[in-house]
Structure 1
């Protein structure tokens, strides 16, 4: 079986490494010729705890492909790149019949549902990962990959079973919308606060003042998504903070690197949902505008 991974960021490299570890043939599709060349020459180096493993992959530049002939393709780019990926798909002579989209937020759903593919999955990534170079990734926090079928089903149970392991669990759930909403709640609570305060995830639990703020964000978020009263959701937020306690959120790393964040897909989405229902979300709005402001500050430094 040939499996494609679009995106050579932290999640793309992490996923490609574990797919190779499960003995699949893996093609990594990158934005730059430089990264593709490095991956073809050096493979992917995976660091976890005190262990180091190297996996060979085939890498190609996404823009230079005429077609995507893999059996299944995982899309691991940031949410704000999805529109461009969908446009690129329209230019290919052939595209996969099955794709898995693994983005934070929910703003891209309307785009991916329009793709002319038979089977569409969403994947929720709860692992911590940090890209160290074009070819190196550190698995910083063990979590779970949750898979949900948006349309079609296909016969992919063998893939999920093969990829699933004690160090890289994969869980298939029936209610894909619930999966995404619960992940959105977690991201809304953790990512913006860690970014503003420049702290690792665990500090949101150990610092009482940060914890109180996070609870306020949680209350606004679940209300906007009509999830208030769902058992275990707040406990899930706390558990993610604790399990990834030493990790710096992807949004914080984006700001520190001068990159665009996924704030539009996360808090932008919940703010729109709240507005539709006619209630104010003052803390969420403050966080949204704060992150947008930080993006502008970092952008102006580069310019």
Structure 2
């Protein structure tokens, strides 16, 4: 039942643009087809695995420059592929997830599949749809499109390494995105860039170098880089972060800078919380 739900969402005609059909550029079209093919293979494979373990979390994030944030509900089903997760990183898992994100006038739904042959190295595939009904305060919504519906697919690679109290996180994401109605270049608020009016290819790189001070406290340096290809632009963030974790609750604060092709270099802060109601097999 759950497998059928995820496949139907990823194959949903309602998530495609309602306007007259536009031909996507070759790179975007090939990537989209690869994503769907790989997800089908993973779904078929997962049918041979035993009972799933459910996970559920509530998280929230706010960035003050440029303004962006909201609350996310995430529900997933994880299948252990091999190994024993207790007190070791040597195991593999497969996870289906549904994320519902809201900021009031901005609402997003995302379905995804995470395949981690080992717990610290894996790939994620997914498709999402979001709708925004209000102009963004920190962007020029006369020049750029801010209101409307947009859909996207993505492929994401993740690597997590650790040595004693030090750890390293790295991810790279390719994210083709399309507006439901072609009008003008549209704002992507979380990365602070404008996407091409018809379709855009986004590349995102994210890394964290951190130190576990204790079982509860962690600090580190965070770097985020995003780039649009068709409508050339880039954004960069540098942050020092401090994180506190106790039982199911995680809190973090980041201080640093943000710059993009649309926004000048400026001081930025990020506040984040997460409450893990039911644990996940993911280690990050």
TM-score (structure 2 length as normaliser): 0.26
Greater share of strand? 2
